[in-house]
Chains A and B, each alone.
Chain A
Amino acid sequence: MKTKTKTNEPQVKIGLNFWQKMARDWQLWVLSLIPLLYLILFRYLPMFGVVISFQDYKMGAPFIGPKTEWVGFDHFIRFFKNPYCWRYIRNTLSLSVLSVIFIFPAGIFLALVFNEIRIKKIQSAATTISILPHFISVVVIVAMLRNIFSVDGGLVNKVIVSMGGEAIDFMGASEWFRPLYIGSGMWAGAGYAAIVYTAAIAGIDPSLYEAAKIDGANRWRQLLNITLPCILPTIATMLILRIGSLMSVGYEKVLLMQTGSTNDVADILSTYTYRIGILDGQSSYASAIGLFNSVVNLILVISANKVSAKLTESSLW
């Protein structure tokens, strides 16, 4: 974390050239060998696959060879010409932004709340229970969702009808798709996300609290003035990383929730890519869309990082 403080580094190191520095740091290089190797082998070596975004890729073909047909930016143009192009982007972004607005803070909120539970048994029970939904396969979550919100006798509609209302088609209504998606996302993910904040909170120096108590601060004050600011760097880091995947909403849950009539909000980039790329086998086109995705994510992260650096003086790099 870069925090702008003045450090007085011992001045011995002035005057070393590049190679001398390399030699001086040889131990650090050794330490970082394994992660470095990993990056090169498993992340950079396969990166050559990105080139199929610019080809008319056929299965089984080598990625670069005499037979490869280069089509330049044709796939990108095709994507931008698609009448639904903006729809996919907008749907993806809205799900993402909504989840940052609602699900992201939920994790922090839960961590703070659970931290204030004074009865140890309840606290550990609560934290354990809250992470359970994370383990349930998304298929079952959507099935349960459908069961509860079914227009054909689901629990919620039973209550509505018994109170004299008319059954609502939650799963088939466009206006309910996002709330259901985000709501179930909060249910499944808040507890799990809270783990990292709980750890951050637990790492706060207790003497700060002691001092505050002596000054007469109540727990509310302590929460606002100590706990929150101390975990702010953690929050900022997690937020920036989260923004870096803003355009990458996974297809599985959305695909399971789609009912056709909700497609104007429920058809996102990844479900489209799944249909085109995996089901229909058009890997170049899908890869091009994926590349576009990545570029947008990169721009978003760099922007988020700059903003964070200005506002909170802490940034990712």
Chain B
Amino acid sequence: MKKRLFALLMAAVMLLGLVACADTSDDGPSGNYNANLQPGDPETWLSHDKVTLTVLTNEGSSTENPPASNDLPFWKFLEEYTNVHIEWEVASAVGYTEVVSTRLSAGVELPDIMMINTIGNGEKAGDNGVLVDMAPYWDTHFTNTNAYWDAQGVDFESHITTGDGNIYALVGMAEPVEGHITLMYNTDWLKTLNKEVPTTLDEFTDLLRAMKQAGDLNGNGVDDEICFTAAGFAGLMDCIGTAFGLEQYESWDAFASKDGKVYSEYTSDNMRNFLEYLNELFNEGILDKEIASMNASFLAEKIASDRVGVFGYYSSFAISYGQLTPRAQKEKNPYGEYFTLGVALASKYNNNKGYFMRRERAVGAPTAITTECDNVELACRWLDTLYADPNVLNVRQYGIEGEDWKKGENGEIEILYPADGSPRDISSKGCGQIPLCHFQTVAQLTEGMDQYPWYQQQYERMRTESEWKTPTVPHLQLFQDEEKEIMSMYNVDVKGVFGEWRAKFVTNKSNIKTEWDKYLQEMKDMGSDELTGAWQMVYDRTIGAQ
């Protein structure tokens, strides 16, 4: 009798143990990843048996790069390299945000790996057990990634770790100092006016005024010249804001600190000076009258009509947009210089030292592993390989070995060019930009640029002649629950108020001199002070504590 009972008890315990272990959310790494490789398997394989992972991503917002598929040489290479087969689900970029939100929320039909919208989404989904916490695997399975960023001196981990110490999604990251938004000047107009690229704000203003004065610079007899424009208001701030002491860049929240005190750039005197300046330009007919409704494709149209004197955008567009100009089309020379890259402008607002903001920040939509994945450790290793394995990086940056590059005698990379003189094209092979977030390297961003010597020279000047400042506030990932709540409550509204008044002040719908205080009051009513308070809290806890 006792024996039977005991046996039953043991069985029950075992069963319970079985059930407990059957929990699909893993209990942590099993030491170093064991790829079960057999003798004869290439070292780079992640598993002896060919495993399949399903990956969800979108096609990317431009049709320039082909959507991910196993037909592309890059992915073929990766499959051979790792022995992991990928089943792609490439969704439309249209409405991808909604797709991700919906699928994460519903928690059904999830792939093994997926591209999500924001780190914030990832955190919420992770808290609810939809995404895998990669923190336990970070040191053991992401060795390549760790090595890569350690060599750069960048604390990548802090960008992806939540306040609770979890890592639910990986972001891409750009090596600092690359692919920046800058001012670009119409080369022909500069020559006609016999002027150089300005290095100070005053020189810049003089140049613009000279352009305006000169009148018919594109020689078509119509007064349609636009001296200064950008792909929208945000782009305008990005290319010239630093001349006014602003730190805001791209989608960074506009907060900065001075002497330990955090302040909102939106309501600062710097911003006021900046907007007044823009308003002046607008009134003089220098700034594009349509600046409020500009976007990248409208900008392209204007440049193609040879109407633009100066614009601000990512530096690589000096090449792309330059090719749209009539002269480029006539000369059929894709390597010519049609727009000249500028440098950061010095002014009395930034102590006469022009600077760019050093972009140590996350880029791209994050990638996460979902809890439907049966092979979490493999997925981690795969991601690590994709991002930072040195050989994979070479292929991603330079193209297929043997076709686009080869290893020189001392092991350095030698770029190979097409025999017919056409521009190098590795993106059609799936190299370069990949549809999962990735690290943007210097090499990748300067890829193919040696065919444009003028660009290389000016790009180098950008990098070396201007100061590269680091932000004076901590980055968003360091926010914790209470601060995040405050952000949730007020951020969208405050940004909205700013956007509205910015447009009104610059385009003369409101008089900045008389209504600035009204604007400040509205910002206050919307919660700007509470937001600043939240940033101050994070600051005190991180940078301030050092």
Contacts and interface: CB of A to CB of B under 8 A. Distances in A.
Interface of A: 58-61, 67, 78, 82-84, 146, 150-153, 167, 169, 171-174, 259-261, 263-264, 267, 272, 275-276, 278-283
A257 to B, nearest CB: 9
B97 A278 contact: yes
Given A59-B128, A172-B509, A263 B293 contact: no
Interface string B56-90: 00000000000000000000000000000000000
A59 B290 contact: no
Contacts of A82: 493
B98 A278 contact: yes
A146 B117 CA distance: 30
A58 to B, nearest CB: 5
Nearest to B97: A278
Interface in B479-527: 488-489, 491-493, 496, 499-500, 502-504, 507, 509, 522, 525-526
Interface in B110-159: 117-118, 120-121, 124-125, 127-131
B121 A276 contact: no
A272 B130 CA distance: 28
B237 interface: no
A259 B503 contact: yes
B121 A263 contact: no
Interface centre among A83, A152, A174 (most CB of B within 10 A): A152
Contacts of A280: 488, 491-492
A168 to B, nearest CB: 11
A171 B541 CA distance: 45
B307 to A, nearest CB: 9
B149 to A, nearest CB: 27
Contacts of A281: 101, 117-118, 120-121, 124
A146 B288 CA distance: 15
B101 A261 contact: no
B124 A59 contact: yes
B507 A172 contact: yes
A193 B447 CA distance: 54
Interface of B: 97-98, 101, 104-105, 107, 117-118, 120-121, 124-125, 127-131, 224, 226, 233, 288-290, 292-293, 488-489, 491-493, 496, 499-500, 502-504, 507, 509, 522, 525-526
Given A84-B493, A259-B293, A261-B509, A59 B504 contact: no
Contact of A83 (B131, B290, B525): B525
A260 B503 contact: yes
A34 to B, nearest CB: 26
Contacts of A172: 290, 292-293, 503, 507, 509
B496 A261 contact: no
B290 A150 contact: yes
The A interface, classified by DSSP as helix, strand, loop or mixed, is loop
B496 A59 contact: no
23 contacts: A58-B127, A59-B101, A59-B124, A60-B124, A60-B131, A61-B105, A82-B493, A83-B522, A150-B290, A152-B226, A172-B292, A172-B507, A259-B503, A260-B499, A261-B503, A264-B500, A267-B500, A275-B496, A278-B98, A279-B97, A279-B492, A280-B488, A280-B491
A260 B288 contact: no
Nearest to B229: A152
B509 A282 contact: no
A61 B522 CA distance: 36
A83 B504 CA distance: 19
B237 to A, nearest CB: 12
A59 B116 CA distance: 12
B151 to A, nearest CB: 34
A203 to B, nearest CB: 40
Contacts of A78: 489
A150 B290 CA distance: 7
B493 A58 contact: no
A278 B104 CA distance: 13
A171 B492 contact: no
B290 A60 contact: no
Nearest to A278: B97
A255 to B, nearest CB: 12
A60 B293 contact: no
A261 B292 contact: yes
Contact of B288 (A84, A152, A171): A152
Contacts of B107: 60
A283 B105 contact: yes
A84 to B, nearest CB: 7
B293 A59 contact: no
B125 A59 contact: yes
B167 to A, nearest CB: 17
Given A84-B493, A275-B496, A260 B504 contact: yes
A251 to B, nearest CB: 12
B23 to A, nearest CB: 17
Given A260-B233, A261-B503, A280-B491, A83 B526 contact: yes
| Chain A to chain B: the 10 pairs with minimum beta-carbon distance, closest first | A260-B503, A60-B130, A261-B503, A60-B128, A259-B292, A263-B500, A59-B124, A60-B125, A58-B124, A59-B125
Interface centre among A84, A152, A167, A260 (most CB of B within 10 A): A260
Contacts of B125: 58-60
A68 B492 CA distance: 24
Given A151-B289, A169-B289, A174-B509, A261 B128 contact: no
A217 B274 CA distance: 71
A60 B105 contact: yes
Contacts of A275: 492, 496
A60 B106 CA distance: 6
Given A169-B289, A261-B507, A281-B118, A153 B128 contact: no
B128 to A, nearest CB: 4
Given A58-B127, A60-B130, A282-B488, A152 B289 contact: yes
Contacts of B104: 59-60
